[in-house]
Chain A
Amino acid sequence: MNTDALSAETGAKPIMTARNVDVFYGKKQAIDNVSLDIPENQITALIGPSGCGKSTFLRCFNRMNDTIQICRVKGDIKFAGQDIYDPKVDVVALRSRIGMVFQKANPFPKSIFENVAYGPKIHSLAESKDHLEDIVITSLKRAGLYDEVSDRLDEPGTSLSGGQQQRLCIARAIAVDPQIILMDEPCSALDPIATAIIEELMDSMKEKYTIVIVTHSMQQAARVSQQTAFFHLGELVESGDTQAIFTNPEKERTQNYISGRIG
């Protein structure tokens, strides 16, 4: 089988490559032989009906699946050419390069400032207090939140609105200066206005970061991503240029999903 078959569509250099990935929860197989490339400084959307394994696959990229005891990952996933499941790789360091934003905004029960400062502190990224403040403010600005919270940085992060909380979580992820940000249905709990703000934000972020987003909304995938991968029943059905997938899918299953016949 040609394992490179699914990565050849774009000219962009892949920063992350997955080859023949299988994921098991206990005896149940959640992901079956998936190979996919993630091009640098682009937005890749993973779409598919719920339970198709797209979130599970996303969590392989920063080894978040390690926190689930019964979960086993097989196959080969490389980040910048390095096998991230190599026993020598430090999962803690890996996650500082590959950040994550979750489905439900999960700010720590700390102040807005402390939320963003958490990452730089644990990774000792700031040389001084001023530097730390600098990082926090820059991150909040990049997440498009600074103007809304600049006067109340010491208020609890949980006091913000849902959309603001999610942007706080994005700022928190940015603060450790990752190369990739994984987003697991980041807008599923948000209203359309907050969603639009975050989508806009993602577009501006791709200059600096590579983004992989899991979404159940095809419209969102179409709006924000350059690359799309369609998952169904634990398999990767089709992947490639977003435009192409949505207008002219190769596989019937993709066609069915996009037209609403698979829910």
Chain B
Amino acid sequence: MSQSRDLTLRRANRRSQLREYAIQGLLIACSFVAIFTTIGIVASLAFEAIRFFGKIPITEFLFSLEWSPQTAIRADQVGASGKFGVLPLLSGTLLISFIAMSVATPLGLLSAVYLAEFAKPKTRNMIKPLLELLAGIPTVVYGFFAALVVAPIIRGMGAGAGFEISSESALAAGSVMGIMLVPFISSLSDDVINAVPQALRDASYGMGATHTETVTKVVLPAATPGIIGSLLLAVSRAIGETMIVVMAAGLAANLTANPFEAVTTMTVQIVTLLTGDQEFDSAKTLAAFAIALFLLVLTLGLNIVALRTVDKYKKKYA
């Protein structure tokens, strides 16, 4: 064995070693983009929000019951600096999300149960893509439909029943958003239901339970943590949803629980504050970032709780 060959091998080895390191470095750099994105989001929102809290005290933002961000028209109009209480926006967001969830939960869960437990494979293979189609429709389309078709229908039904419904009612936006969430809930719950071990179903059938009794008394209770997780994910979606509410809910910051009235949401206000002519240092535009930070904390919090619940559930039956 010649020594020179040995050397070439070693040199080639070192070179390929270097290349391995270089490529690995590149890959690590790519994965860091995700972390930088998160840091970027948190930093940019926090930075602008802090500037906002320099102008408007955080206590007013969190506890004031009034939202009217119309700032002074003339620079010397110091008093008219607007009211920046986030609570009416939060209540509007929660009201619409609540309506959406009251539509989406029964529809989504019943669909999931039917598809996972009762439907023949052929039906299942036909229905599932149809429901997924519903999830693929852009939200701007839902928004257009809500404003153009659903809101007038709801208004008309209200008029028929003799009471007034705002043309931008929380009900219209919420119910359409509910339909949007159905496929989301049904596919997550479908997974969860399928994860319930067959042994539990067998035990129930072996006792002489009907299929429905098995589903309602064994499968669903066993799947409850997972289902709650998927519902929480859906709530987080509803809270962050923008286009439907921008197009179908109003701008009026009403602190109300009446689904027939117009309410506004956090996302609607972010859009309103940041589109059109803007002056980047005004409390008005900075407020959008404070709302967004609030929104982020809310959705991420929900999300983390939801993922934990689902994870724990999956481990239980893994």
Contacts and interface: CB of A to CB of B under 8 A. Distances in A.
A96 B205 CA distance: 9
Interface residues of A, number: 28
A106 B205 contact: no
A80 B208 CA distance: 18
Interface stretch (B146-154, B194-202, B250-258, B294-302): B194-202
A106 B204 CA distance: 10
A92 B217 CA distance: 15
Contacts of B222: 108-109
Interface string A100-121: 1110101111100000001101
Contacts of B217: 118, 121-122
A110 B304 CA distance: 26
Contacts of B210: 92, 122
B200 A122 contact: no
A106 B208 contact: no
Nearest to B202: A102
Given A92-B209, A93-B208, A119-B207, A64 B202 contact: yes
Contacts of A122: 207-210, 213, 217
Contact of B206 (A107, A109, A173): A173
A253 interface: no
A106 B203 CA distance: 7
Interface size classification for chain B: 10 to 19
A96 B207 contact: yes
Contacts of B50: none
Contact of A62 (B199, B204, B206): B206
Contacts of B207: 95-96, 99-100, 118-119, 122, 172-173, 176
A92 B212 CA distance: 11
Nearest to B219: A108
A128 interface: no
Contacts of A101: 206
Indicate the member of A64, A93, A121, A122 with the most B CB atoms within 10 Å: A122
Most chain B Cβ neighbours within 10 Å, of A67, A93, A173, A176: A67
B221 interface: yes
A198 interface: no
Contacts of B65: none
Interface of B: 197, 199-210, 213, 217-218, 221-222
Closest 10 CB pairs of A and B: A96-B208, A100-B206, A95-B208, A106-B199, A106-B203, A119-B207, A109-B222, A122-B213, A92-B208, A122-B209
27 contacts: A64-B202, A67-B201, A67-B202, A67-B205, A99-B207, A100-B202, A100-B207, A104-B199, A106-B199, A106-B200, A106-B202, A108-B200, A108-B218, A109-B200, A109-B222, A118-B217, A118-B218, A119-B207, A122-B207, A122-B208, A122-B209, A122-B210, A122-B213, A122-B217, A169-B203, A172-B203, A176-B208
